[in-house]
Amino acid sequence: MSRAAAQRRLILPLDVDTVRAADGWVRRLADEVGLFKIGKQLFMHAGPDAVRRVHAKGGEVFLDLKFHDIPQTVALAGVEAVRLGVKMFNVHASGGAEMMRTTTAAVADVCKRERLRRPIMLAVTVLTSLSDADLRRVGVAATAARQVVRLARLAKANGMDGVVASPREVGAIRRACGPEFVIVTPGIRQAGDAVGDQKRIETPEAAMRAGADYLVVGRPIRDAADPVAAARAVVTAMARGLAAR
């Protein structure tokens, strides 16, 4: 698999508090990554304009707001994500079957009526910051590994295109949900990187070899002395993993 193919699968989070900082990262790394992830911090600061600014510079956006509410509310939020032109957005799988089913139907309808591009719709399974013990504290008896697969199957059955899950569960999701199901994987660290608040981590090469489709890599790139070189090193590792499948 070529480096170009691997590069298209690398997602950089714009976890910054100003549009000026976000603009700087997009200018610096637009030729090194496939998408920019806009999460709650930047979206609360700049709103939809944060997405439009990335698009204006030729970048693609993964809108990472993890919608989780009653079905109609999430469906309407999904419609607005479509109208923003994002390539991906996500909801929480734990919002349930009806929430996901209503959202996918609303997205299909607006794409048809308004001739808009259909985004990749993802369901968040179990956050990579959560351990088995953390799940038990909120009343989930299953291990993280089992809960992830359960939620991935629920997401697929209700029209979602894929899931967000840690690299530790990629292989099990792939076996449960098939080759076309999209798996976006955070919790990526190169050997020697600081772990931070992630608990279920893996290297870029191992995550891609296991079957991940996209990797979200933030601090190992942004905190590097040379972020461009760091991004290229991640892409090289991803390409090795893809080639080993």
- Residues classed as catalytic: 66
Report H helices in the chain: 3-7, 19-29, 40-46, 48-56, 71-84, 97-114, 132-137, 144-157, 170-177, 204-210, 219-222, 227-243
CA Rg value for the chain: 17
In angstroms, what CA-CA distances link 232 with 58, 228, 229? 19, 6, 5
The dihedral sign for the CA sequence 208, 222, 22, 229: negative
Phi, psi of 68 (to 5 degrees): -155, 100
